């Protein structure tokens, strides 16, 4: 893997982790589309995935550093006082409880998903289906409340939705924003909670894959590409979060739906025409 490829994949990871377009789907489809050799090296692929997720996590933590500190302090205070008495404490518990379904799903189903459900045509179908769902739900539901109106039970519902994103093409942010909008959250509130909810999952997934990497060791000659991938994913993740939270105050999700539909059509068209193989 070359440094330019690492930078492209890093930017892709950082941008699509938070945009509702599926980072896992893009990281499978991009090397598949251009026939990059990383596709044929599972160990390298997994190691590089750790680096990209670490970079994304750093970028997101820098952006949300005040939110993370506030909710962590509120959660600790709630445990110490054995009650939930403030909005911050309620949202902190919503984030904690909402993380549980994703942890369970990731621990039990990740290997099955990687082995069986990461094929380009399946990813294309998920891009199309969940892209339309995001648009339809957003259009049908009004903006009734901000993040302060979210309950702990609502956090659990959003966590269950997040667990669906193990399937490449669904999009973690896309499905949680869709469910958040169905619950009446504003676009910005649904996106903000979705981004915050993703942080423990990204950190946990990176840690687990990092343990595997520690057993096998870093692939030789990959230090520079890994470093560039991490930096580009951190910077792009930070910038995309800032852009999206501003963009969603004034705009809907039509552009993301059309992007997902165009990507799905491209993948299916390339496979149907025999230009690219049906397997990644």
- The average pLDDT across 114-128 equals 86
39 has pLDDT over 60 = no
184 has pLDDT over 60 = yes
- Domain membership flag for residue 279: no
How far, in Å, CA of 240 to CA of 242, rounded?
A: 5
Q: What is the pLDDT of residue 19?
A: 94
- If one counts the domains in the chain, the total is 1
- Domain membership flag for residue 45: yes
- Domain membership flag for residue 277: no
Handedness of CA 80, 81, 86, 87 (dihedral sign): positive
Q: What is the pLDDT of residue 41?
A: 65
204 has pLDDT over 90 = no
Instruction: Please give the structure tokens belonging to residue 249.
Output: 């105050």
The range of the structural domain enclosing residue 69 comes to 3-272
Q: How many CA atoms lie within 13 A of 175 on its CB side?
A: 25
User: Each residue of 95-133: b (16+ CB within 10 Å) or e?
Assistant: bbbbbebbeebbeeeeeeeeeebbbbbbbbebbbebbeb
Other residues' Cβ atoms within 10 Å of the Cβ of residue 280: 17
- Domain membership flag for residue 68: yes
- Domain membership flag for residue 278: no
- Domain membership flag for residue 48: yes
Q: What is the pLDDT of residue 198?
A: 92
Q: What is the pLDDT of residue 10?
A: 94
Phi-psi region of 35 (alpha: psi -120 to 50; beta: other; left: phi over 0): left
**Mean pLDDT lowest among 1-10, 69-78, 212-221:** 212-221
pTM for the model: 0.91
**Which residue bears the tokens 């680096």?**
51
What pLDDT band is residue 216 in, cutting at 50, 70 and 90? low
**Which residue bears the tokens 């894959």?**
209
* 86-117 confidence digits (pLDDT tens): 999 999 999 999 999 988 888 787 777 766 77
- Domain membership flag for residue 92: yes
- The average pLDDT across 52-59 equals 92
* 146-177 confidence digits (pLDDT tens): 999 899 999 999 999 998 888 899 999 999 99
Q: What is the pLDDT of residue 68?
A: 96
């Amino acid at each position: 893997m070359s440094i330019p490829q690492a930078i492209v994949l890093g930017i892709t990871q950082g941008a699509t982790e938070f945009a509702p377009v599926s980072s896992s789907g893009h990281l499978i489809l991009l090397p598949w589309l251009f026939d990059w050799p990383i596709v044929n090296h599972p160990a390298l692929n997994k190691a590089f995935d750790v680096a990209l997720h670490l970079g994304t996590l750093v970028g997101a933590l820098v952006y949300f550093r005040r939110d993370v500190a506030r909710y962590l302090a509120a959660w600790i205070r709630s445990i110490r006082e054995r009650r939930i008495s403030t909005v911050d404490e309620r949202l902190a518990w919503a984030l904690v409880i909402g993380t549980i379904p994703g942890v369970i799903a990731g621990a039990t189903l990740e290997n099955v998903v990687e082995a069986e459900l990461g094929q380009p045509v399946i990813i294309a179908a998920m891009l199309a289906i969940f892209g339309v769902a995001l648009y339809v739900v957003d259009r049908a539901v009004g903006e009734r409340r901000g993040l302060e109106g979210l309950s702990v039970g609502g956090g659990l519902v959003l966590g269950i939705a997040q667990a669906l994103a193990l399937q490449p093409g669904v999009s973690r942010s896309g499905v949680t924003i869709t469910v958040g909008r169905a619950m009446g959250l504003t676009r910005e509130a649904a996106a903000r909670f979705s981004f915050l909810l993703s942080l423990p999952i990204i950190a946990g997934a990176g840690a687990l894959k990092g343990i595997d990497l520690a057993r096998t060791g870093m692939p030789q000659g990959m230090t520079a590409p890994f470093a560039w991938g991490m930096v580009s994913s951190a910077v792009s993740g930070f910038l995309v979060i800032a852009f999206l939270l501003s963009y969603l105050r004034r705009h809907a999700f039509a552009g993301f739906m059309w992007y997902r539909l165009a990507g799905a059509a491209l993948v299916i068209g390339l496979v149907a025409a025999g230009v690219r193989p049906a397997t990644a």
